[in-house]
Amino acid sequence: MPQGAVPRRYAEAIFALARDKGKLDAWRKDLRMAGSIINNPRLLLLLEDPNRSPVEKHKLIDTAMTVEIDPEIRKLLYLLADRNRISKIQRVADEYIAMANRALGIVVATVTTAVPLDESGQKNVADRLKHLSGAKTVEVRNTVDPRILGGIVAQIGDELYDGSVRTRLAQLAERIS
């Protein structure tokens, strides 16, 4: 079976369940949280130990999950641990989030700026990108790269919107020479 097939099958199953229960967005957040918590290398080592019983693995998961998540997501974590596939949780979460985003009309924009964006700046950028992309909702992931000097560079899927000062200066230099 191809490497990505197992996480995708789990993601498809949990997606169908979430859609039926009307919990696409809530489970998107829960899976993102669960993936980041469980993906701790020390915790994964304990959860992947073949000498640990399923009961011990469930207790480890319960202890690690200090935030409240939907019981169905907790059951998914138990299932993955029982089947020695808990290391796939981040890939399952990524697959599910991509499916949920498509269903909910959410696009993720990676926005690079010279300085970090505050909440209002992120909202302004999201609104502008929503208009440009035609998406219902734009989720902004801000990265900082001082080399762009100013402005923003936004990537949504294969589309790149480059409004950086660095690019504009390079274009100007090209026209002058």
Q: How far apart are the C-alpha atoms of 60 and 71, rounded to whole Å?
A: 16
Residue 163 and residue 111 in one domain: yes
- Domain co-membership, 86 together with 135: no
Residues 10 and 91 in one domain: yes
Regarding whether 90 and 23 lie in a shared domain, the answer is yes
Do 114 and 165 sit in the same domain of this protein?
A: yes
Over residues 141-161, mean pLDDT: 91
Range 40-46 average pLDDT: 94
Q: What are phi and psi of 85, to 5 degrees?
A: -125, 20
DSSP 3-state of 154 = strand
- Report the predicted TM-score, pTM, of the whole model to 2 decimal places: 0.76
Residues 6+ apart with CB under 8 A from 97: 28, 31, 32
pLDDT band at 1 (very low <50, low <70, confident <90, very high): very low
Task: Tell me the average pLDDT across 105-112.
Answer: 92
> What would the pLDDT profile of 13-28 be if each residue is shown by its tens digit?
999 999 999 999 999 9
For residue 143, what are its two tokens? 């990265």
80 and 42 inside one domain: yes
Domain boundary among 81, 102, 123: 102
**Domain span including residue 47:** 5-102
Asked if 97 and 15 sit in the same domain, the reply is yes
Of 45, 75, 102, the position where a domain reaches its end is: 102
